[in-house]
Structure 1
Amino acid sequence: MPKIIFICLLFFVHLFALDINASLEQQNNPKVFETLLKDLNQSSPDYKLQQTLIKKIIDTLQSKPTLVHEKDFSIKNDTQFIATYQKINDLLAKAYEKKDAIKHLKDQLDDIEENIQKDPTNVTLKLEKIYYKKLLLAHQAFIDAVFKHYPQWLDRLLAKLRFIDFKLPPKKAVEKIEKKIAYLEKKIKKLSIEKERWEILENSNKVSYLQKLLLAQFKKKEKLIHDWLRLEFETFFSYLKKRSSKALHISQTIKSYVQKHSSNPYIPVSLDTSMLYMLNKQIGNWKIQFAQIKKEVTLFATTNTFLGMPLYKFAEGLGIFLLFLLLRKVFTFFVLKIIHKIAKLTTTTFDDKLLEIIEGPLKFAFIILGLYFAFLVMDIENEVFDKTLKSLIIFEIFWIFYNMVHVLDETIYKFAKRFGRELYREIGAFFIKTLKIFILAIGLVSILQVWNINVSAFLASLGLGGLAFALAAKDTAANLFGGLSILADRALKIDDWIKVGDVEGTVEDIGLRTTKVRTFEKSLVTVPNQMIANNPIENFSRRNIRRIKMRIGLVYSTTHEQMHNILTDIRNMLKSHPGIAKKATLLVNFDEFEDSSLSIFIYCFTNTADWAKYLEIKEDINLKIMEIVQRNGSDFAFPSESIYIEKIAEKE
């Protein structure tokens, strides 16, 4: 029983220790660790190591990064200027060193974590973990502070540069500096050559000790470049008043050389800009003023970002895109106009159709090229941008195919004549629309595949949504099959005069879903193909003759002989009339005695179904009937009543 109680106590003490250590990782108060230092078990074999680690943690928490202070900008002479400038660049170099150290600290923390998992009760390991974490956070805070304030420090320093008179060093000192520069430059160039050799050796897996030897030399390069820059900077001021052109040359040399050999992105701009400030102050050359503005813009563009990229890269990309838009305008207003004029001079229409196919896509190609080169200059390696460009290229290709269908419609209509000359226009239009929809569908699927969207899997995953979609598309499918049945049955064609339900007019278009009918009131009615397929269609254009049916009434004063002559003359007139169908039924009869007239029934057919010609024939027949009635001494009756009044003799 005592053993069990002792084991439980040890377990709870162990848990309590873990909780304390876990909370210590979040502590940033040095006093907490000072208390912990006093409570350390001095009899522990790791006491000294634990004591050292806690002291390091306290020092890390108490230390504050030494940055550039306000007093450093109270610059009155060239010595103070160079000292502040050196301090700023030393801070930047230190920030880069800490950035490299962070990678090493993270590796050490990973190793400590593995050891803690193997030995969870090891206090020393936990203290090491806390120390490295605090050190990593301190390094990161220093890096963030330097990178944040560096452009501001540089701007303030350069502003002071205008008001400082630099003393010229003695001639011998200048010559000594120049010799030192030449020596350093030679050493750096030699290292660069050896670097190329080293890379070749590394790629071909040659002697490893030589690689290590060369790598050790590269570590010297950063110091060489730093010394070279400092000496060039001093040399520049020595040449400033007497040899301004040489000073400008050194300024340009510094920029190109440092960009080639140094990993520091700020030094080339800052040094070159400061030199241009001095040239402007001492010489006052307008070229230098322009260069100063250019360098200030460069400084702003390299130290500021937009959408996560340097501002100058975004500006370059935008400029290239605008350049391609300008080229597009030039191409449209000059090149295309000349090509159109040349095409009009030819006798064939092939070149005109080819221009119609490619004109729109050619203009759009400038936009695609502009985006491509803009992204290339901006170093955008983003999957979204890549997929957008690929989608635009696919859109361009299928646009050309779509235009080809539109331009090659005559060929399609010729092909449609094989299926029937009567409905070749309707079948051709159906083929054209089907091809366009097919091209659009393939293009859409291709674009969706670029974005890794599986269309078949997407449709299969719809489930009940797919069923709802199918039900919603039921009418569309019915209209589509209705259109196919109209073309297959040849029930109607374009320009036919039809009547379907309450709709009567001339067919203007037979589509995949609907048929457009122009009524005699000139309004356009869109009729679903399903309705046309499921209802009786009265096609007036399919009849080759048109009926004339009418009654005329003659006055009751017409005699038997007059009536007989009128009937005979009308029959003969209709039989000989060129607009009356000869083989069709022709009836002219004295039909009945009406209340106020003697009715003659006339029934015949014109030899045309055209509405306008039909009216002309009917008008001519009516005029000739009037002439026949008048010639035979009769007249047309109108509704009338005769009232007879009988006079009765008065009674006597």
Structure 2
Amino acid sequence: METSGLQVVEYIKKQLIFQGVNEVWSVCITNGIMVLLIALISLALYTAVKRIVLKVMETVAAKSKTKWSDILLENRVLDRLIRIVPALVVHAFAPAFPAYRIWIQRIVLCYIIFVILLALDKLLDTVNDIYSNFEVSKVRPIKGYLQVIKIIAYIIGIIAIIGVLLNRSPWILLGSIGAASAVLLLVFQNSILGFVAGIQLTSNNMVQLGDWIEMPKYSADGEVKEISLHTVKVQNWDKTITTIPTYALVSESFKNWKGMEEAGGRRIKRSICIDMTSVRFCTEEMLERFGHIQYIKEYIKAKENEVESYNKEHGIDSTDMVNGRHLTNIGTFRAYVQSYLKSHPKIHPGMTQMVRQLEPTEKGIPIEIYVFVSGTAWANYESVQADIFDHILAVIPEFDLRIFQNPTGYDLKNITN
């Protein structure tokens, strides 16, 4: 190719001189013609190779049952590699310009290295896209590792380009970089921290794609959409995106709701405050009324027998309610709520079910409901929780209890009336 290029140049130059063009102008015109010729050959070869390669890839993709060939086409990896073809043509014809031959070849080599870097970048993206189609990608994402490979590749590529331009061995440049390792550590501090954090997150199975995490410091409360070298992207429930530094998930505290989702039940932990002045012993009339309530019918019978037996056994004077054991309306109410929740079709039967009385406060006696809803869907959870407390709030007066509530304008209006 070198000899052919020189022969073409000499032939064009001789023809121009033969036509009466002086030597200086003949050189300029010859160079212009050669540049145009090289451009036409490069364009023709690039177009031909692109059509052939893409046609082959499309045929393979159509026949293949896997998605990797389709992803390869979408990411245009081969399209980037084909851009090397014009550079090879220019490199081959460089001897046609003896005065600029060395610099043309150096620049072309730098361009080839740069194109290879871009193609490698897209190839790694393709690997990540293909890997994302497998279930293991949610447990072991590799995007962070691929980004490290990209950084290393770009560093090596830049060193190679500098070495080509300066006509120096890349190993000498690498030795110089080794001496400046402290500066490099400072420059790539975030990348190093992110890489180490990514390894810890993956090896300890702390976060996976699709996990619901909560990190108030960064206003993050939603689903993990992406785990990369430097950042973890969380789509909050209001559809906003929060970006968290990867190393922050290792160095700081966050809540992962994956355990709740895997367990299949979502906790309800909410209290209702009872006015303490409404708590009293159950009278015969109250017990008779409670005995008709389906959920505690058996409970009332059993407790009445138990209390009566205890008082007789210990010789208790039952004419005074202070003596011996007696049922209370708040205790009976707790038993009712416990039975109601136990029979509720949307409460998880295999998880903790508890109705407990907390320490009294200036707002009354808190009765806490502690149960788990079957399923973890947010909308279903809120619906079940609202239904349960709607029922409990409505049934409380049936036990001669009052809910504690600060005075409102309605209360004050009734007082004045």
TM over 0.5: yes
Q: 2:84 aligns with which of 346, 365, 385?
A: 365
Q: Residues 553 and 636 of structure 1 are in contact (CA less than 8 Å); yes or no, is this contact kept in structure 2? A: yes
Could you report, residue by residue, the CA deviation over 1:137-189 in whole angstroms, capped at 9, with x for unpaired residues?
A: xxxxxxxxxxxxxxxxxxxxxxxxxxxxxxxxxxxxxxxxxxxxxxxxxxxxx
Secondary structure of 1:549's aligned partner: strand
CA deviation digits over 1:380-432, x for unaligned, max 9?
65222112222333444455444443333466569995xxx8722x2x32343
Name the CA shift for 1:402/1:455 in 2 (closer, same or farther; >3 Å).
same
Match of 2:243 among 520, 523, 526: 526
Aligned pair partner of 1:423 in 120, 133, 139: 139
For residues 415 and 520 of structure 1, the distance between their equivalents in structure 2, rounded to whole angstroms, comes to 26
Give the conservation status (yes or no) of the 8 Å contact 1:448–1:454.
no
2 CA distance for matches of 1:468 and 1:341?
47
- When normalised by structure 1's length, the TM-score is 0.44
**Amino acid across the alignment from 1:586:** Q
In structure 2, the residue matched to 1:505 is: 221
- Deviation digits for residues 55-80 of structure 1, max 9, x if unmatched? xxxxxxxxxxxxxxxxxxxxxxxxxx
Q: Is the CA contact (8 Å cut-off) linking 1:483 and 1:529 kept in structure 2? A: yes
The equivalent residue for 2:150 is 436
Give the counterpart of 1:618 among 385, 389, 393.
385
Quote the offset at 1:638 in angstroms.
3.8
For residue 538 of structure 1, what is the aligned residue in structure 2? Answer: 255
Aligned to 1:552: 272
Query: Are 2:182 and 1:467 equivalent residues in the alignment?
Result: yes
- Matched residue of 1:348: which SS? coil
Q: Which residue of 2 aligns with 1:495?
A: 210
* Residue in 1 that maps onto 2:70: 352
Give the conservation status (yes or no) of the 8 Å contact 1:579–1:617. Answer: yes
Q: Does 1:315 align with 2:53?
A: no
Shift of 1:606: 3.3
Unmatched runs of 5 consecutive residues or more in structure 1 = 1-258, 274-298, 646-652
Structure 1 residue 574 displacement after superposition = 1.2
- The alignment partner of 2:210 has SS state of coil
Paired residues of 2:226 and 2:234 also in contact (CA < 8 A): yes
RMSD: 4.5
The 8 Å contact of residues 353 and 371 in structure 2, kept in 1 or not, is answered as yes
- Structure number with larger C-alpha Rg: 1
Does the 8 A contact of 1:569 with 1:628 survive in 2? no
Equivalent residue number for residue 289 of structure 1: none
Aligned counterparts of 1:444 and 1:341: Cα–Cα separation in 2? 33
Residue number among 343, 347, 369 corresponding to 1:580 in the alignment: 347
CA displacement at 1:354 relative to structure 2 = 5.3
Greater displacement, 588-597 / 382-391:
588-597
**Structure 1 CA distance, aligned partners of 2:355 and 2:257?**
25
Letter in 2 for 1:552: I
Identity of aligned residues (%): 19
User: Helix, strand or coil for the counterpart of 1:588?
Assistant: strand
The offset of 1:364, in angstroms, is 0.9
Q: Does 1:486 align with 2:204?
A: no
The match for 1:278 is none
Q: CA deviation at 1:449?
A: 4.3
Please say if 1:567 is aligned against 2:334.
yes
The code of the aligned residue for 2:343 comes to S
Q: Is the 8 A contact 2:81 2:119 kept in 1?
A: no
Helix, strand or coil: the match of 1:436?
A: helix
Aligned to 1:382, which of 84, 89, 101? 101
Contact conserved, 2:338 with 2:355, CA < 8 A, in 1? yes
Alignment of 1:188-267 (within 5 A): none
In 1, Cα distance between equivalents of 2:366 and 2:16? 113
Between the aligned partners of 1:416 and 1:599, the Cα distance in structure 2 is 46
Q: By how many angstroms is 1:570 displaced? A: 1.9
2:25 to 279, 283, 304: 304
Cα 1:430–1:416 shift into 2, 3 Å: farther
**What secondary structure, in the 3-state scheme, does the structure 2 residue paired with 1:495 have?**
coil
Instruction: Name the CA distance, whole Å, in 2 between partners of 1:321 and 1:604.
Output: 76
* Greater RCO (CA < 8 Å, at least 6 residues apart): 2
Pair 1:461–1:404, CA change in 2 (3 A): closer
Give CA-to-partner distance per residue, 1:252-302, whole Å, 9 cap, x none. Answer: xxxxxxx99xxxx78x656645xxxxxxxxxxxxxxxxxxxxxxxxx27x5
Change (3 A) 1:325 1:628: farther
Letter in 2 for 1:551: S
In the superposition, relative to structure 1, how do residues 456 and 514 fare at CA in structure 2: closer, same or farther (>3 Å)? farther
Alpha carbons of structure 1 residues 351 and 584: separation in structure 2 relative to 1, 3 Å: closer
Shift of 1:575: 1.3
Match of 1:605 among 362, 366, 372: 372
DSSP-derived class of the 1:525 partner: strand
Equivalences for residues 57-136 of structure 1 within 5 A = none
Cα distance change, pair 553–475 in 1 and its aligned pair in 2 (3 A): closer
**Residues 454 and 369 (structure 1 numbering): CA distance in 2 closer, same or farther, change over 3 Å?**
closer
Q: Which residue of 2 aligns with 1:113?
A: none
Point out the structure with the larger helix share. Answer: 1
Is contact 1:479-1:512 (8 Å) kept? Answer: yes
Amino acid at match of 1:542: G
CA contact (8 A) 1:499 1:538 kept: yes
Distance 1:446 1:440 in 2: 10
Aligned counterparts of 1:616 and 1:359: Cα–Cα separation in 2: 53
Alignment of 1:267-282 (within 5 A): 269=16, 272=19
**CA 1:416/1:399 → structure 2, altered by over 3 Å: closer, same or farther?**
farther
Counterpart Cα distance in 2 of 1:463 and 1:271: 60
What does residue 6 of structure 2 align with?
none
- The residue type paired with residue 24 of structure 2 is T
Residue 360 of structure 1 deviates from its aligned partner by: 1.7
TM-score by length of 2: 0.64
Q: Structure 2 vs 1, CA of residues 422 and 639 (structure 1 numbering), >3 Å: closer, same or farther? A: same
Distance 1:594 1:445 in 2: 71
**1:392 pairs with 2:126:** no
Question: 1:502 deviation in Å?
Answer: 0.9
Q: Which piece of structure 1 moves more, 352-361 or 543-552?
A: 352-361
* Cα distance in 2, alignment partners of residues 381 and 596 from structure 1: 90
Shift of 1:324: 3.0
Q: Structure 1 residue 511: deviation in Å?
A: 2.2
Equivalent pair of 1:498/1:505 in contact (CA under 8 Å)? yes
How far does residue 519 in structure 1 lie from its aligned partner after superposition? 3.8
- C-alpha distance in 1 between matches for 2:357 and 2:173: 78
Deviations 1:610-645 (A, max 9, x none): 544432331232233345447778775643469999
Judge conservation of contact 1:304–1:311 (CA < 8 Å) in 2.
yes
Q: Which one of the candidate residues 17, 24, 43 is aligned to 1:325? A: 43
Distance 1:363 1:644, change over 3 A: closer
